Amino acid sequence: QRAREMGIKIGVLTPGKQNAITDVKGVKVGHTTLHEGDRIHTGVTAILPHEDNIFQNKVPAGIYIGNGFGKLTGISQVKELGNLETPIILTNTMSVPTAADALIDYTLSQKGNERVKSVNFLVGETNDGYLNDISARVITKQHVLDAIKNAKSGPVEEGNVGAGSGTVCFGWKGGIGTSSRVLPEKSGGYTVGVLVQSNYGGVLEINGVPVGKNLGKHFLHDQLNDPADGSCMMIVATDAPLSSRNLERLAKRAMLGLAKTGGIASNGSGDYVIAFSTAEEVRIKPGSKYYTSTELHNDDTSPLFLATIEATEEALLNSLFMAQTLKGVSGTVEALPIDEVRKMISKK
């Protein structure tokens, strides 16, 4: 069950139809999921900003680094040029090079890109090495290409799928989660969608309820002494027309959503946010002499900030609620104990 189906309503804004990143028109998500015995639990998740050739129709983008322990590739070019030119790929830490290589293959193989000699592969990761035999590096380029190929709009699979197959969050099974918010018409009516790969720690809170504290399972708790490490990749999509500068600001707000779940961005956590706009008014079109755009004024960004915070918090909760208990290479990680959580929440 997703958080909202359990009666958990995060924030004051309304989700979109799917309550998913795909509520932002044109955005597609695809997973490749690998569960093989107890040893292999990993995968790939691909996020596509639109259906066209992305390299030829770049979208404005911003990146924010909550904590830079991590191997996200492609950061500096996105920041310098203010756009992204490939699908975004999420996978495990050790498979980033393979995924990057696959993005080169993908880009070169697309019609119109025959002469491309430089590709800014954007690949994020978290470390699923507790449940998955990460050193085996089983992800292949084909797995990555499959995730891109399978990408679709509509509902998004969550939990132990794709890049979230083997991740752990607050000591419970984490994974892929997604959520969205639609702004009121008077604030523009724009949609913000978030997709996360959750693999981090801290002191879990669910809609303000101190679940981690209540269950005695949190960072610095004597029994556990969980190092709180791990990482979180967050992808923010919007149809609001924003420049790369304001998209970087949007990205920054996703960390505020993570904070509300009790995340602390620990030393060993790779917490990264990639935000992009799908709006036609800011699309970078090939062949144009100038870049003409119509974007929101700075003054009109705050509602989008709130939407990002809410959708991130809910996406992170969905990643927990939709994940399943999993036996992996170093042990078993339980799913969030739904019944206990339900009781704590109902008391609120």
Strand partners, 273: 64, 234
Which secondary structure element, helix H or strand E, spans residue 167, and what is its range?
none
Q: Which of residues 303-332 bind a copy of itself (CB under 8 A)?
A: 303, 305-306, 309
Question: Which member of 24, 61, 89, 100 binds a copy of itself (CB under 8 A)?
Answer: 100
* Strand duo 59-68 + 122-126: pairing: unpaired
- Asked if 310 and 257 count as a contact pair (C-beta separation under 8 A), the reply is yes
- By DSSP bridging, strand 168-169 and strand 191-199 are unpaired
Q: Binding to a copy of itself (CB under 8 A): which residues in 143-202?
A: 184, 187, 202
Residue number, 160 or 207, with CB nearest to a copy of itself: 207
Q: How many residues bind a copy of itself (CB under 8 A)?
A: 99
Residue with tokens 């998913």: 20
**DSSP letter string, 193-206:** EEEEEEE--B---B
> Are 226 and 219 within 8 A, CB to CB?
yes
Candidate ranges 32-40, 47-55, 91-99, 152-160; the one touching a copy of itself (CB under 8 A): 91-99
- Footprint of a copy of itself on 289-308 (CB under 8 A): 290-303, 305-306
Q: Which of 72, 182, 233, 236 binds a copy of itself (CB under 8 A)?
A: 72
Q: Which of residues 193-252 bind a copy of itself (CB under 8 A)?
A: 202-203, 205, 207-210, 213, 218-221, 227-229, 241, 243-245, 249, 252
Please report whether residue 41 would count as binding a copy of itself according to CB under 8 A.
no
Do residues 221 and 190 make contact, with C-beta atoms less than 8 angstroms apart? no
Catalytic sites, residue numbers: 231, 269, 271
Least Å distance, CB 284 to a copy of itself, is: 8
Q: Which of 27, 94, 192, 316 contacts a copy of itself by CB under 8 A?
A: 94
Q: Looking only at residues 249 through 278 of this chain, which bind a copy of itself when binding is defined by CB under 8 A?
A: 249, 252-253, 255-260, 263-268, 270, 272
**CA–CA separation, 73 vs 86, rounded Å?**
12
Contacts of 68 (CB under 8 A, 6+ apart): 270, 272
